[in-house]
Amino acid sequence: MSLGVYGRNDLKSCVPRRCRWRWRVGAIIPDSFAKLSGHIDCRALLTVSLETTHGTRRRSLGLLSTAQIGLNAHLPASYGSKNSEIVSISSRDAAKAEATAKKHNIERWYGSYEEQLADPNTDAIINSLPNGMHCEWTIKAAEAGKHILCEKPLAVSAEECQRMIDAANANNVVLVEAFTPRWNPHLRMARKLIAEGAIGSIQTIDAALCFN
């Protein structure tokens, strides 16, 4: 279910920037996310949300595709995780899936996305497919009973976003967009200070995304 992730099906908080809708500061966020601090791990957003709605236990995640974002970001982050691990990877090319799994010591590999979604030992899927495929495979993952961490942008239109949210709700699974600023402790504090009027009336906000 997407409740608590997108704030009661609030499309304005999840559609891609190209749709020209501003993300609203007041989106509903579960109190349990307050436990996150420092660097935000996208997978932590999913696992903490699962703790809120489905109980506490170690989660088994699968990389849907061999995309570099999965191998270079999600996989390294999983090595230090105490509540989740990446146990499988899939590709439409079986040989590529096998080679990638062996190279990165991933336990299981699949030569199709359908096979991976049918794996009963995978709790959730990290959807790192091309943007135009996010909607189709997120819905299929939800219908297979898998929770989903979907890379940004969530979809390519507001209509696709709503279909994905509806599928998550209908199948009682958690859907999270890998957009970490919503849970960043610095931004949460900024929101608190603004709400309290501690820094006066805000007229404009400038932001920049930077890498070391």
Catalytic residue among 12, 35, 146, 152: 152
d(CA 135, CA 155): 6
Region of 129 (left: φ > 0; alpha: ψ -120 to 50; beta: rest) is beta
DSSP H or E run through 102: helix 94-103
Query: Is 152 annotated in the active site?
Result: yes
- Would you say 158 and 15 are in contact if contact means Cβ atoms under 8 Å apart? yes
CA angle (128, 87, 175) in 5-degree steps: 45
d(CA 15, CA 179): 11
Q: Which residues are known catalytic residues?
A: 152
